[in-house]
Structure 1
Amino acid sequence: MSRPGAAGPPGTAPSMEKADSFGPSLKRLVRLLGAYRTTMAVVIASIVGSVALSAYTPRVLGDATDKLFAGVIGSKLPDGLTKDEAVEGLRQRGQGTFADMVSAMDVTPGHGVDFTAVGRILALVLGLYVASAILGWLGAFLLNKVVVGTITDLRGRIEAKIHRLPLSYYDEAKRGDLLSRVTNDLDNLSQSLQQTISQLLNSVLMVIAILIMMLSISPLLSLIALATVPIAAIATGLIAKRSKPHFVGQWSSTGALNAQIEEAFTGHELVKAFGRREAVEADFDDRNSKLYESSWRAQFISGIIMPTIMFLGNLNYVAVAVVGGLRVASGQLSLGEVQAFIQYSRQFTQPLTQIGSMFNLMQSGVASAERIFSVLDEPEEKPDPADAETPAANRGRIVFDDVSFRYLDDRPLIENLSLTAEAGDTVAIVGPTGAGKTTLVNLIMRFYEVDDGTISIDGVDTSRMSRDDLRERTGMVLQDSWLFGGTIYDNIAYGDPTASRDEVLEAARISHVDHFVKTLPDGYDTVLDDEGGGVSAGERQLITIARAFLAKPTVLILDEATSSVDTRTELLIGKAMANLRADRTSFVIAHRLSTIRDADVIVVMEDGHIVEQGSHEALLEAKGAYHRLYSAQFSAAVS
């Protein structure tokens, strides 16, 4: 997209492809979640309680195993002996290892399994599991509300940001890529947060809780279990570092592909007309291939993390099982303790594996967050003054006083321009393409800020007014008609939501919308899509003109407003506009000079300067720039 009215190449594009580092973006996400700190505190407390109960359960199950094992061993020992007598008897028979094991057990010779005690333990385990599940569900429920609320807030912030960005941003930004940021990237961030935060909290807390329980059972086995953690951490860091650029590339490629698709769909008829289908398809295939490459590389590389950690965890499991078995045999640990430790070691590896597997989701989400933050960090348009002024009168007298403006610092466009439009005057602006005609009216609307000089309306500098106040006084009809998805009636009523139905229909009648609407089956209730499908380009333009009529602005800006209508309709609209322009100041940009003969002042612009101004007859008599334009246009029409 090029700037309207700009002369020369466009400027530097906004920094939409810049990606920050992983750490700062992650911290920024955490700060966003901080807005729900009270709820997050309850979430953390719930997850801590759930993890603590879950971590304690294997130890209780170990007690049940000890009860069962002690009952089995006790049933095999002679009845009537004490435990010490039974152990001594085993030593005398040369069964020293078995004697060491029995001495470490809570066993009664001649007595079998105490199923009552085992039942109580199992009931306690069931209660712990239920309580852990309830706390886990509560934490997940509240966390989901936090994530959804955060994304909703972020979506609101980016929506508000879009309305505060200057027009120059949209001159350079690709619409498809911007839409991808506020839709695809937001959705991806939402999914990433929902899937990772809960698991991450659970996993980190579970690692801490399990480590405490393992140390309470056996420091030696704990050291063996921890031996692979540094290796896993280093491997995860190296793999994550290699996959990060590919995740950034994945979402950048997604935005570029969406921009290409949006452009191709919008210009579908043009693509067909110029036979460029194969070129568009080739461009799509190229961008799609880039997305494919970055996506599979990101997923493949990050996917290595989980199997790597699982492999290290399996090695750990074997080592713990072997050493634990030896210590049970030597009576240094009970079977239940080793069982609990093995369960802890597997549980210890599982959260580490989950943390590793979540890195791809985290990196994908943070990559999307970076793209969203880059839009939020774009410079905004100059804010309205705190003590905004309002013109005492509402007549529409506009004065340009020594105005200068440039899109690029080294390329002036408008320099030292002075012009006065009296209230009620119709000012026609003509000149070659790139002369600065559209830029001039954009400066009136403060779509861009002047570099030097002032523009005032009814004696008040527009830079001292609020934009809302300024734009409420102006109505604009552009060469490119803009309609939203809705009925024809709704599109016209957009000019003044408070207007009655009779006023809307009157505006439609004056602008000759009523004529073609009567031919439609649903009349004013005909539903249009956002491209205005179902009506012709000229009819779309008439609807936008009706919208401007309904707004009843003090200042009216018509930028090639009749370029899409036929000559007969143009004449009819010209008569209607004559009525509309009564007591209103109008700026009319027109290439067809026949449409602006009755203008009070015709301004001829070349290279950002006013080279002539006056009435139609006076300028023709001067035989200057306007005379050359007029003669060239009508001689071309005759030839």
Structure 2
Amino acid sequence: MLKLFRNLGPYRWAVAAVMALVLLQSLSELYLPTLMADIINDGVVKGDIPYIWRIGGFMLGVTAIGTIVSIASSYLSSRVSSAFGRDVRRKVFRHVESFSLQEFDKLGTASLITRTTNDITQVQSVLVMMMRMMISAPMMCIGGLIMAVSKDAHLSLVFVGALPILALTIYAIASRGIPYFKAMQKKVDKLNLVLREGLTGIRVIRSFNRFEHETARFKEANGDLTRTAIKVNQIMASMWPLMMLILNFSSIAIIWFGGVRVSEGQMQVGDLMAFLQYAMQIMFSLLMVSMMFVMVPRASASAVRINEVLETMPVIEDVEKERKRASENKPAESAARGTVEFDNVTFRYPGAENPAVSGISFRALPGETTAIIGGTGSGKSTLVSLLPRFYDVEEGAVRVDGADVRDLSIEELREKIGLVPQKALLFTGTVADNIRFGKADATDEEVRHAAATAQASDFVEEMPEGYGSAVAQGGTNLSGGQKQRLSIARALVRKPRVYLFDDSFSALDFKTDAKLRAALKAETTEATVIIVAQRVSTVMEANRIIVLDEGRIVGSGTHRELMQSCDVYREIVSSQLSEEEIA
């Protein structure tokens, strides 16, 4: 947790101010019992009414000061903790944005959401408590002991028996509760995962009538978390009555032995009352410590999980600024702008025994369309993921404009690429906002032109507010084909050097598919186009077709050439087209 608290650097003066205010508050609370003892000893016993009024007014003044500094410390500590939480959330989010897909696979989306929200909130809550109690509790405990001893050293021996018992009680209970707090965070992750899957996959769940199954999954995860929470709360709940029992027995002992000392004339009544209040302050300071024992273990577990995210370094590292500047200043490569080259590329997913692709070599040139086709699991989408460096190759190299993608900055590389993913994903906002996701400063004319090229303008203009129409989260208010066309428009408005279409025409009918490919041909005359497709009709007119089978290239050439030379391609064609269409 201390690592996270380094983020308090910008607020160190505010934290110091909070501690100073808490110190003043503690001093005022420690001073009040002494003033009360003076009123009783010198005012009430002697019948000195003016003295009672004078000291009573002074007590009110001390109380007012204590109240003001308490309010100020609460306000300031809340502002500091809120700013700390904001900064850590921003830091975690920015760091997570730099992750490759490998880190997302390792940590899990549901867990990352929990760590960015629930875990940071836990640490933020404890920070408020620590800023106020870290000074207050020790001050009240040590100061109370000193003041109690100053009133009557012999009566202070009561603490010799009470405090060790109190400390052992806190330790015994906290040591049993800490493991449960750590387990709770993992169970919150599990519940979040089940809930997220249940909500995002609601259509599939309903279509397969698996609602009862998902309800049972949620009930199990929820019940598991509830049982752990009940167990830990039962353990921690026993702390309060036990401590109150010790506190009350201590009070009885103080009154008993203090009464004897008062009757013997060794102690005044006012001092006994002040001593009793100091005893209460000492005990309650330990109660505050026990509350920290309840909160700190859970926050500590949360801090470990947050630090795990911050300390996870992306496998794919961006180049240093100096290397970026060097690449910008070096002479232009001999390769034409937009040239893509796979040079003997081999890649396997983390933990996989066999490579997903092996020995892949081909070139995709500007002004040409290179199509990649193959059966399910042949490695088509894997190749698309290697080009924008979602993953890094194990062997060989992927080059853009003659430069290895690992020698380019991530930003520089991805600025050259317009990717249309296999699963069309849209964001909340308007239609225009989603198209401008590809180019933030795109004009209205550029947005309309991109939509028209993607064959999306017809259905967009029929929507109630046209390009200003709202798109629901994930584009759930649009059909699959409409989402695909908007995803294509988003890539087109970018005007990149390289277009990557990862099975991006699968939801389109044949007529729209043909019109779209014709419009793309006119739009991408100077760019490199790489199309991954399942349908033969989509790739037949490509300048070059790469045929994959089990992660290897088994054929390369035009449609006619492959029909004569590649058995795998002929099988794919014959499974999709009639003999008249093939002829």
TM range (shorter): over 0.9
**Helix, strand or coil for the counterpart of 1:551?**
coil
State the match for 1:402 in structure 2. 344
State the match for 1:136 in structure 2. 70
State the match for 1:512 in structure 2. 455
Is 1:212 paired with 2:154? no
**Shift in Å, 1:535:** 1.6
1-structure distance, mates of 2:132, 2:163: 22
Is 1:151 paired with 2:98? no
Residues 582-621 of structure 1 correspond to what in structure 2 (within 5 A)? 582-621=525-564
**Distance verdict in 2 for CA 1:637–1:520, change over 3 Å:** farther
Letter of the structure 1 residue corresponding to residue 347 of structure 2: F
Residue in structure 2 matching 1:275, options 175, 196, 209: 209
Residues 542-581 of structure 1 correspond to what in structure 2 (within 5 A)? 542-581=485-524
**Shift in Å, 1:196:** 4.9
Contact 2:344/2:396 (<8 A) preserved: yes
Is 1:115 paired with 2:49? yes
**Shift in Å, 1:141:** 2.3
Tell me the TM-score normalized by structure 1. 0.86
2-structure distance, mates of 1:577, 1:182: 41
Residue in structure 2 matching 1:67, options 32, 42, 45: 42
Residues 91-240 of structure 1 correspond to what in structure 2 (within 5 A)? 113-240=47-174
Tell me the TM-score normalized by structure 2. 0.94
State the match for 1:14 in structure 2. none
**Distance verdict in 2 for CA 1:200–1:304, change over 3 Å:** farther
**Shift in Å, 1:54:** 1.3
1-structure distance, mates of 2:391, 2:580: 36
2-structure distance, mates of 1:468, 1:34: 30
**Shift in Å, 1:52:** 1.2
**Distance verdict in 2 for CA 1:384–1:29, change over 3 Å:** closer
Aligned residues: 572
Letter of the structure 1 residue corresponding to residue 147 of structure 2: M
Q: Which structure has the larger Rg over C-alpha atoms?
A: 1
State the match for 2:176 in structure 1. 242
Moved more, 340-349 or 402-411: 402-411
Residues 457-496 of structure 1 correspond to what in structure 2 (within 5 A)? 457-496=400-439
Moved more, 293-302 or 178-187: 178-187
Contact 1:61/1:336 (<8 A) preserved: yes
2-structure distance, mates of 1:585, 1:317: 85
**Shift in Å, 1:435:** 1.6
Contact 2:120/2:306 (<8 A) preserved: yes
Contact 1:210/1:348 (<8 A) preserved: yes
1-structure distance, mates of 2:95, 2:192: 21
1-structure distance, mates of 2:366, 2:287: 74
Letter of the structure 1 residue corresponding to residue 207 of structure 2: A
1:56-88 CA distances to partner (integer Å, 9 max, x unpaired)? 1101110000123432xxxxxxxxxxxxxxxxx
Is 1:310 paired with 2:310? no
**Shift in Å, 1:623:** 4.1
1:289-345 CA distances to partner (integer Å, 9 max, x unpaired)? 101101111211112112211111111111111111111111111111111001111
Is 1:38 paired with 2:4? no
Is 1:533 paired with 2:476? yes
Contact 1:402/1:453 (<8 A) preserved: yes
Contact 1:396/1:424 (<8 A) preserved: no
1-structure distance, mates of 2:391, 2:93: 21
Contact 2:357/2:552 (<8 A) preserved: yes
Residue in structure 2 matching 1:445, options 388, 409, 416: 388
1:193-218 CA distances to partner (integer Å, 9 max, x unpaired)? 33454234322221121111112112
Is 1:49 paired with 2:24? yes
Residues 308-457 of structure 1 correspond to what in structure 2 (within 5 A)? 308-386=242-320, 387-388=323-324, 389-390=327-328, 392=332, 395-408=337-350, 410-457=353-400
Instruction: Give unpaired runs (5+ residues) of structure 2.
Output: none
1:483-536 CA distances to partner (integer Å, 9 max, x unpaired)? 111011111111111111111111111212110122222221111111213221
**Shift in Å, 1:152:** 1.2
**Distance verdict in 2 for CA 1:626–1:265, change over 3 Å:** same
**Helix, strand or coil for the counterpart of 1:505?**
helix
Moved more, 532-541 or 464-473: 532-541
Q: Percent identity?
A: 31
1:33-55 CA distances to partner (integer Å, 9 max, x unpaired)? 35532222222122112211210
**Shift in Å, 1:273:** 1.1
1-structure distance, mates of 2:297, 2:567: 64
1-structure distance, mates of 2:5, 2:241: 29
Instruction: Give unpaired runs (5+ residues) of structure 1.
Output: 1-25, 72-112
2-structure distance, mates of 1:56, 1:42: 21
Is 1:630 paired with 2:573? yes
Letter of the structure 2 residue corresponding to residue 288 of structure 1: N
Residue in structure 2 matching 1:292, options 202, 223, 226: 226
1-structure distance, mates of 2:19, 2:368: 68
1:150-187 CA distances to partner (integer Å, 9 max, x unpaired)? 11111111011111111112235443332222122223
Contact 1:176/1:261 (<8 A) preserved: no
Letter of the structure 2 residue corresponding to residue 57 of structure 1: L
1-structure distance, mates of 2:566, 2:180: 64
1-structure distance, mates of 2:236, 2:420: 52
**Shift in Å, 1:223:** 2.1
**Helix, strand or coil for the counterpart of 1:531?**
helix
2-structure distance, mates of 1:66, 1:376: 60
1-structure distance, mates of 2:130, 2:425: 42
1:464-492 CA distances to partner (integer Å, 9 max, x unpaired)? 11010110000011121111110111111
2-structure distance, mates of 1:238, 1:571: 74
**Distance verdict in 2 for CA 1:437–1:322, change over 3 Å:** same
RMSD: 2.0
Residues 498-509 of structure 1 correspond to what in structure 2 (within 5 A)? 498-509=441-452
2-structure distance, mates of 1:173, 1:260: 15
**Shift in Å, 1:417:** 2.1
Moved over 6 A (4+): none
Letter of the structure 1 residue corresponding to residue 266 of structure 2: Q
Letter of the structure 2 residue corresponding to residue 259 of structure 1: L
Contact 1:504/1:550 (<8 A) preserved: yes
Contact 1:306/1:357 (<8 A) preserved: no
1-structure distance, mates of 2:92, 2:26: 37
1:556-604 CA distances to partner (integer Å, 9 max, x unpaired)? 0000101112222112111122123311111110010111111111111
**Helix, strand or coil for the counterpart of 1:27?**
coil
Contact 2:144/2:282 (<8 A) preserved: yes
Moved more, 573-582 or 323-332: 573-582
Residues 73-84 of structure 1 correspond to what in structure 2 (within 5 A)? none
Contact 1:493/1:499 (<8 A) preserved: yes
Letter of the structure 2 residue corresponding to residue 400 of structure 1: F
